[in-house]
Structure 1
Amino acid sequence: MARAKHENQLVLSIQRKLKKANAIIRRTDKSKIFYICSSKEFEQKAIDYMKKTGAYQEITNGINPLGNIRHLITNLLDNLKEKKSITNEQWKNMLPNLRNCELPHLYFIPKVHKVRSFLSSLYIFLTLQFIVKLSCPFFNFNFIRINVPLRPIMSFKGSPAINISKFLNALLAPIYLRMARKTTYISGTDLIRQLENYRNNSRLQTTTLFIIFDVTDLYTMIPRDGALDALARFLNKYSNNRKIGNLSIDTILRLSRMVLGGAMGSPFTMVLANIYMLDWEQKLIEDQESDKELYGRYIDDVFMTTNLSRADIIKRLDEANNKDPNIKITYAVQSAVDFLDVAIENKDQKLITSVFHKPAAESCVLPFSSDHPRYTHRNTIYCGLLRAVRFSSDVYHFDHERFNFELTLIMSGYPLSFINLHFKRFFEANKAMNVWKYLDDNTYQQLHRKLLYQSTRNEIKQLPVNSTIDQYIPKTKIWDRQRLILHYKYESGPIIKYRREFHQLWEKYYVHRESLLKNVRLTIGTTNNPSLERRLVKKKPPSDFLADIHVN
């Protein structure tokens, strides 16, 4: 109780200091650290971004267009239902939720991983400055002016079009993943598998170079008409008699016009961006296949291999860069690159891979003292070792990652006895104790291959390649009446034994021969207390404005 009171007082103190200094705090993109700057400076960056892209418009007249948007969407769905273009069940699933309907809003998060210089000094400076500010009320905030770019996020939670967006995402995402699977990296593990096959097929030479490129502002720069044209071509190519299930191409396009947006946040945005990019990258894919080289994309990041000269591959990339005025890329051509969370190097025709830690990513994991069930901390150790084995091409790079991971765990408060116990369990479960004890490379290579080709969670979720188009039609989940799921807020205090005691009471009073619940499976899950991000970061405009309805 004393700890909870102290932490609450500390958070309240931080909130007061931020307000007094007119500062804004945001969780950074792709990292666990916070970014603090002047509110005016952050607002100006957002305005500059909106002017540059022209993709967003600020509401300045104080009139909320939510009512008109909801009216348009409802009329469209009613019209499609009357014409029997969609089923009654699909109509219900896509209707706006009247209880929590609100206007989508735009917010930004800083992309500090794009600023490689001064990153560490910036983090240390702001941290020390913030600590001093807390302890000394007469200290004033000073902000280092570094041009940190922003990532736009459009919050569609409660949007009138969110259900249509979810429906289209569930309908088209599996089809896209199936059709573009060969040129899509779904994880770092997937990338390493393809690289090792590339090496095993004797394609890796001393002259082999790796290319990575990033698409600038992909979500915001895709034109509305261009996106619809790319979607139409995609549907014409992969539909069955111009239909996907019971939906015609025209119906899907009409629904898509309701959810076209220019930022991350809408479920359908990523699918649409992927389809647009698939159309743009066809020439590159054909050239790479002709050269028997690798090409793969993860959203707006691309990895390629080449045995062409540096001048020839740069010429090819420049041609791609000039193909579409809305798609601009920044590329690097080297023998050693970092892609996703994998560091890749061609060292004298030897493929070396290891875990890549982004400069902006703070070296920490879930603290051992946090209010989470203990299995969460066990899983943290298992997943960290699993990633290290999958990504490290040899035992020495693995041992280096293991050492860094162990230091990170210690810094996050994990007891050495807990760390050693679960490290040992990992190697015992995988029958690789010689790796832990003696760093035996032969045993490690067997472990590496075994875990690398073990199916990941994302791969298990995907439908088989030979599945039909009709299998992609979203279906309503059937309520499992033989399963009862309960959640409670987990705390490490007096109620730490709540789950065990509840199961005992359940079996004692509800599981007996005459009970109607005797065949019901009980699952007890946990929710967590509000995080520091939730307490400190305010991204949402006033709710009374977002839900205010004016219909013209």
Structure 2
Amino acid sequence: MTRDITPHYFDSNNSGMSPASMKTHSCTVQSSTLLDDNTHENGEFNVNNTKAMNDKQEDDDDEYQDIDDDDDDVNDSTWILYKDDDGEDQDNQLTYHHTEPQKLKDLDWKDLPTFIHNMDYDHLNSHECKSARVENQTLLSIRRKTIAANAIVRLPYKGSSVYICSQNSFQQKVDDYMARTGAYKLIHQLNGVNQNASKKCLIDIVERVEIKLHNLLRSKSIAKRQYLAMTIDRSSLRLNYLYFVPETHKGQIPVRPIMVCNDGPTMAIARYITPLLWSIFDRATNCIRFSNGAIDVVHAIERYAQNGHLKPSALFVTLNMDNLTTIVSHEQTIAALKSLLSDQLKDQMIQGITVDTMIELVYIVLQNQFCVSNNKLYQQFKGGASGLPLTMLLAYINMFYGQHRDLVASFVEKNELFGRYQDQALLTWHGSEDEFHTLFNTGIDTEHLMTMSVGSTIHFHDLEIGHNSKGVLESKVYYDRDIDTLPNVSDESIENLPKQLHAVLYRAVRCCSDLEKFRWERSLINVSFLLSGLPPGSIDSIIQNFYVEFGLPTRSFSCVLQDDEYHQLRRNIIQDVDRQVELKKQREKQNQHTLFIPCPKFLDHKQLADYKKGIIEWWKKY
């Protein structure tokens, strides 16, 4: 049987591409099985075979691979400390949003013995094999003891430690959180007559979303390309699921919700409209996006100072808004969004979408936040899911445009620096602290919902920056004593440690404003990598190669760097940052003219070559 490889939505009239601009894209079909005991029955969330499906998948079990021969990585030999994300997804997630390792995606804690028993040790040497077996036995021992003690083991929201407590105690924390926030409404206990309620819920959401998109397309409220961008991907569709993690860095160790919704039915809508809305918000507030965390913050503030805008008396303000994501009502959020769009869009349209249509799209995402947790079906009707691209955007809009517009107008007028990275915002303030608090408190009372810091020196994620006693701008790497006191490299394999050392050095030079701070940071780096198993000679060699790579003359680096050498090293790395930004812009421009096509996984290279040849012939023909 010949497989039809023509995408059903492909427009053959698109002449803006050539065979050279086509790339195949990895498209893994995921199982509907969920992670752990907080989730539901196997297969409960798959709708590939339901009546709601319009375009049946020919083979639900196909796996996909990338057949693109091009190496899209800028430097595959370099371990990147900050991910160069495509679009806004990274920026919209909460700071420490958890991810699922692919091998553990469908693993339940109770399946751990079988998983370990079936592990392949053949690729390990004798020492690694012995270490792996010892660690696996430790895991099994922990599992037996936690079961016997009716306890659970959880990774914290921040940091690299683990948290152990009784199941009853942890569940009480979860219940208290739900009661305090009032963000989640229990729909069904998933047992008995309601055991298929989650499946029906997913089907209903799919039908509502598809009807809404179809109606918007038919009324010409959205274009065909927009409709296709927002349509549901049925190959990897599953209901959102919710779990909680402890915040061990806070007193009394509260819990925080993590909503996994990457394969949810409204994710495509959220991913499409979020960058459009961010662009409007950024323009309205003069907000800078720090896509690479501390590196971009240092870069922006130093340039702001070099341009003569930063005075020695200026204060720095940080605002952490993640608590707002599950507190604010949808009505309040929609009102703030309407105000922003109406004020900023003179023709009341963005890329052909009217304000009313954009509000409809946001509303259907917010109204369909259903999830499974602990064998129960919930609806989140306040705030947004932690993994949803829209959530952080709406928190920013609600805070800076809905509640504190006077404050925003003031720092825009005064040309203050305002930037954002994930759930934390930073701004300069050329005025008194009392003046700032007065302006901030004129809005709706949200101070108790966020963590705010104002001072001449502040920390922003892993950066500490401020003015010293002489009014000179200084910066260095920041460590939270309640989380990590050394650069955390314990999760990396020994093969990846050299790449990570390179990345950590890169960050250290970028963040440390002078040689003294860099020397201190380097001493912490040395200790951390020694404890992680990297030999002293390897550490010295990697550091020497790092110096040479960024322009220092080859010599014996056993002696201490001099001030002029360090400043030259830092200037060269700043220039490297600028080059990377420009390369990213070029890649984004190239991707606008690149067609990504999913392809099946082939068993041999001949099949792969034939498939690629067929794609090119098909392109030339049509």
Do both proteins adopt the same fold according to a TM-score greater than 0.5, normalized to the shorter chain? Answer: yes
Aligned to 1:523: none
d(CA) in 2 for partners of 1:199, 1:83: 51
Aligned to 1:167: 272
SS in 1 for 2:436: helix
Alpha carbons 1:33, 1:362 under 8 Å: kept: no
Moved more, 439-448 or 165-174: 165-174
1:429 to 531, 535, 549: 549
Q: TM-score of the superposition, structure 1-length normalised? A: 0.71
The answer for unaligned runs of 5 or more in structure 2 is: 1-120, 122-128, 367-382, 617-622
Aligned to 1:442: 564
Task: Give 1:401-420 correspondences, 5 Å limit.
Answer: 401-420=521-540
The answer for unaligned runs of 5 or more in structure 1 is: 116-145, 489-504, 521-552
d(CA) in 2 for partners of 1:28, 1:487: 40
- How many residues get paired? 455
1:321 to 435, 438, 441: 441
Q: Deviations over 1:186-219 (max 9, x none)?
A: 4222322343345445666664443333336121
Shift of 1:300: 4.0
Q: Deviations over 1:347-391 (max 9, x none)?
A: 2212221100122136354459827xx4x4332111111111111
Aligned to 1:104: 240
Shift of 1:340: 1.8
Task: Give 1:262-301 correspondences, 5 Å limit.
Answer: 262-279=384-401, 280-291=403-414, 293-301=416-424
Question: What letter matches 1:33 in structure 2?
Answer: S
Moved more, 435-444 or 72-81: 435-444
Aligned to 1:233: 339
Distance 1:486 1:357, change over 3 A: farther
Shift of 1:275: 2.7
Distance 1:245 1:68, change over 3 A: same
Task: Give 1:44-443 correspondences, 5 Å limit.
Answer: 44-62=172-190, 63=194, 64=197, 65-98=201-234, 100-113=236-249, 115=250, 147-177=252-282, 180=285, 182-186=287-291, 187-200=293-306, 207-215=313-321, 217-239=323-345, 241-260=347-366, 261-279=383-401, 280-291=403-414, 293-309=416-432, 313-326=433-446, 328-348=449-469, 349-359=471-481, 360-361=483-484, 363-367=486-490, 370=493, 374=495, 376-433=496-553, 436=557, 437-443=559-565
Alpha carbons 2:406, 2:439 under 8 Å: kept: no
User: Does residue 40 of structure 1 match 2:146?
Assistant: no
Moved more, 187-196 or 430-439: 430-439
Q: CA RMSD in A?
A: 3.9
Q: TM-score of the superposition, structure 2-length normalised? A: 0.64
Q: Deviations over 1:456-497 (max 9, x none)?
A: 699458769xx9xxx9xx97961379xx99999xxxxxxxxx
Alpha carbons 1:198, 1:204 under 8 Å: kept: yes
d(CA) in 1 for partners of 2:601, 2:541: 31
Shift of 1:265: 1.0
Q: Deviations over 1:236-272 (max 9, x none)?
A: 3444733222333222221111212523111222222
Question: What letter matches 1:164 in structure 2?
Answer: I
d(CA) in 1 for partners of 2:395, 2:536: 46
d(CA) in 1 for partners of 2:299, 2:566: 16
Shift of 1:98: 4.3
d(CA) in 1 for partners of 2:186, 2:594: 38
Q: Percent identity?
A: 28
Q: Deviations over 1:389-434 (max 9, x none)?
A: 1111101101111111111111111122222221111110112258
User: Does residue 451 of structure 1 match 2:573?
Assistant: yes
SS in 2 for 1:25: strand
Q: Say which structure is richer in helix.
A: 1
Question: What letter matches 1:108 in structure 2?
Answer: F
SS in 2 for 1:72: helix
Distance 1:294 1:102, change over 3 A: closer
